[in-house]
Structure 1
Amino acid sequence: MKTIITYIALIFICASCAETTHQEKAPIEKSLVEKKISVASQIAQLKTDGYQIFDYVDEKTGDTVIMQQYFMAFLKSGPNRDQSKEEAAKLQEAHMAHLGRMYEEGYADISGPFGDDGDLRGITVYNVPTLKMADSLANLDPMMKSGRLMVEIKPWWAGKGYPLR
């Protein structure tokens, strides 16, 4: 009798878990479907927001690829690098906070240092409509304000939504 009750309890537990899992997935799947927008809508929104774009059809897949102009900021050693170790550490902390804020607010898509100790220190890719905006955001960085770093920004084209691999 104990064995039968145990099996029945297990069946109810499994059934309720399966139902809960199904219920939890449904809103997630629904929200993904709702978020999917057409290529035409994406193009219209990007143009409305002032982004430079063009599109083409990929011959292999038949998909429309949207190319968007981003802005790649090259961070270079600046003229004022004589800060004390403590000052440099504080500037680095503020620099990281600035880059984190740019990412969180959607202005920058990726940032990172180079792996050597050359004059070219790192990059940030800004996802903004204009060079002027990218330059303004980059120069808000405490490292730029202090002169420890300088920035050179170049327009750069990439497929909208393509991940790094």
Structure 2
Amino acid sequence: MKRITLVLVVICALMSCKNEDKEVNTVEAIDEPAENIETIKEQSIAEIKAKLVDEGFQVFDYIDEKTKDTTLMQQYFIAFLKRGPIRNQNEEEANKLQSAHLAHLGKMYELGYADISGPFGDDGEIRGITIYNVPTLQMADSLANADPMVKAGRLVIEVHPWWAAKGFPLR
């Protein structure tokens, strides 16, 4: 229970760092590492699209029929963290792995590689997800497999491409 509470506190802290200001036909560019947040300014959809394409991201846009605004879609990668085959660590080792796992996820967020992570609320086979904001499946897979829990075999990774509207906040 303490671990779940700790994970939820970390997720809430990470979520509270996001800025949710919106303007018509603009989205806030938040692809830079956290240390450059002060220099981020609002850009047009065309500017953001050009930058993403230049960086190797897959994108497309469309006109929203209701609002007549241009919506920019970006390909992200969802990593499903699944129960791994090696779960025989003692409590002390499991706690150390959990701390290293949370530090890894926090670092991925700080560096701008991951936009959100979190555990599922049941005790199923899929333990949680991370949404990676990187240009390729190979990069997402490499970052996900660098997780100490994955390296220890306590979790295994399954990564899938996923499309979402750029700049839309969670609600």
TM-score w.r.t. structure 2 length? 0.76
Q: Which of 84, 89, 92 is residue 90 of structure 2 equivalent to?
A: 84
Identity %: 68
Q: Does 1:101 align with 2:92?
A: no
- Structure 2: segments with no counterpart, 5+ residues: 1-37
Give the counterpart letter for 1:103 in structure 2.
Y
Deviations 1:76-128 (CA, angstroms, capped at 9, x unpaired): 00010000000000000000000000001000000000001111100000000
What does 1:21-60 correspond to in 2, within 5 Å? 35-60=41-66
Q: Which one of the candidate residues 118, 127, 135 is aligned to 2:141? A: 135
Aligned to 2:122: 116
2: distance between equivalents of 1:44 and 1:113? 34
Query: In the alignment, residue 51 of structure 1 is paired with which amino acid?
Result: F
Residue 35 of structure 1, CA deviation? 1.5
Match of 1:69 in 2: 75
Q: 1:145 aligns with which of 147, 151, 170?
A: 151
* Paired residues, number: 133
Please give the root-mean-square deviation of Cα atoms over the aligned residues, in Å: 1.2
Letter in 1 for 2:46: A
Task: Name the structure 2 match of 1:20.
Answer: none
Shift of 1:133: 0.2
Q: Pick the structure with more helix per residue.
A: 1
Structure number with greater Rg is 1
**Alpha-carbon separation, structure 1, partners of 2:41 and 2:155:** 39
**TM-score, scaled to structure 1:** 0.79
Runs of 4 or more consecutive aligned structure 1 residues displaced over 4 Å after TM superposition: none
Q: Secondary structure at the match of 2:123?
A: coil
3-state SS of the aligned residue for 1:37? strand
